[in-house]
């Protein structure tokens, strides 16, 4: 999440009741999670296992629960509960704002765009020119949609990330990490019926120009999808995944989190992608592997009874 203007660290420290160390006169330009941080960002860390990764990341300012060494030019904001500090910042700079109108007064709708009945368009949404938004579509706060986009009935864009902070010393172990990111959809994208596209936790979920998405597809938070991709029905993509240009995912493909599928890759139906895949190859199976090699394996599997008979001579 970008702040509307840089915010002095001392103001943030007062807000979250933090002890400041390091570059205390600096200002933060936003708050981000570790997968999306940039220079000028705040990030938080509350487990020693991740201290080093967070402190050495692109984040300039670290909300942390222990004073430790850090690079020159950065700053620490030391609090007992960094996650609670994160929630305080998000709720202060981007509080929940209900909108009871079908189309929020703050939404911007481009010339030639058609909005059909029973559609909800939330706060600070921008929709470009010549789009068609079919009935019962829900477009939640801060979504950005380009020109010539077609969204079929029942789709939800900008729902909260499925992202939780886990602490076993609480009665409720999983506590929701408030989503303050966006969904950004470029020109010429088509989205089928009853799809769900989650906003970024703090950054953007992004869908590139010309990508076509079938019905009942789910795209998780902070996922980046390239240009001219094709996703068939019931594809599910977890959070913070990168799918490069011209990728095809056929029906019921499941894609795990924080991986990359390279440009031009094709993943055949009902495959499970658990790790990054090279581009310009076809894949099949769970876990997804080179499709030709996987087909050879299936041929040999079918021959197991025949081979068993030959080896055992009919004996059981």
Closest CA to 248 of 224, 289, 207, 279: 279
Q: Which of 35, 134, 218, 221 is catalytic?
A: 221
> Do 119 and 107 touch, CB atoms closer than 8 A?
no
**CA torsion sign, 104 to 189 to 240 to 214?**
positive
145 burial type by CB count under 10 A (0-12 exposed, 13-18 middle, 19+ buried): buried
Q: Is the peptide bond before 287 cis (omega within 30 degrees of 0)?
A: yes
Instruction: Clarify whether 221 is annotated catalytic.
Output: yes
> Do 183 and 223 touch, CB atoms closer than 8 A?
no
Could you list the active site residues? 221
């Amino acid at each position: 999440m970008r702040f509307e203007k840089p915010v002095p660290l001392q103001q943030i420290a007062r807000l979250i009741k933090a002890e400041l160390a390091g570059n205390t006169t600096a200002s933060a330009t936003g708050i981000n999670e570790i997968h999306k941080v940039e220079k000028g960002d705040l990030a938080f860390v509350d487990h020693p296992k991740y201290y080093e990764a967070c402190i050495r990341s692109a984040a300039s300012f670290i909300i942390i629960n222990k004073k430790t060494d850090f690079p020159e030019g950065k700053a620490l904001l030391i609090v007992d509960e960094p996650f609670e500090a994160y929630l305080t910042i998000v709720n202060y700079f981007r509080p929940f704002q209900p909108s009871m109108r079908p189309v929020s007064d703050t939404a911007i709708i481009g010339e030639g765009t058609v909005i059909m009945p029973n559609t909800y368009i939330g706060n600070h949404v921008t929709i470009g020119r010549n789009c068609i938004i079919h009935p019962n579509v829900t477009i939640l706060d801060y979504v950005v949609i380009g020109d010539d986009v077609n969204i079929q009935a029942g789709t939800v864009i900008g729902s909260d990330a499925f992202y939780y902070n886990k602490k076993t010393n609480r009665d409720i172990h999983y506590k929701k990490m408030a989503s303050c990111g966006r969904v950004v959809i470029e020109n010429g994208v088509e989205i089928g019926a009853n799809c769900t596209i989650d906003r970024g936790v703090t950054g953007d979920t992004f869908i590139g120009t010309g990508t076509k998405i079938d019905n009942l597809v789910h795209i998780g938070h902070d996922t980046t999808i390239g240009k001219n991709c094709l996703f068939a029905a019931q594809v599910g993509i977890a959070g913070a995944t990168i799918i490069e240009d011209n990728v095809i995912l056929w029906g019921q493909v499941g894609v795990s989190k924080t991986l990359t599928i390279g440009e031009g890759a094709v993943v055949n139906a009902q495959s499970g992608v658990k790790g990054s895949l090279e581009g310009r190859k076809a894949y099949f199976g769970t876990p997804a592997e080179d499709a030709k090699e996987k087909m050879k394996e299936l041929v040999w599997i079918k021959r197991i009874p025949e081979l068993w008979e030959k080896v055992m001579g009919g004996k059981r």
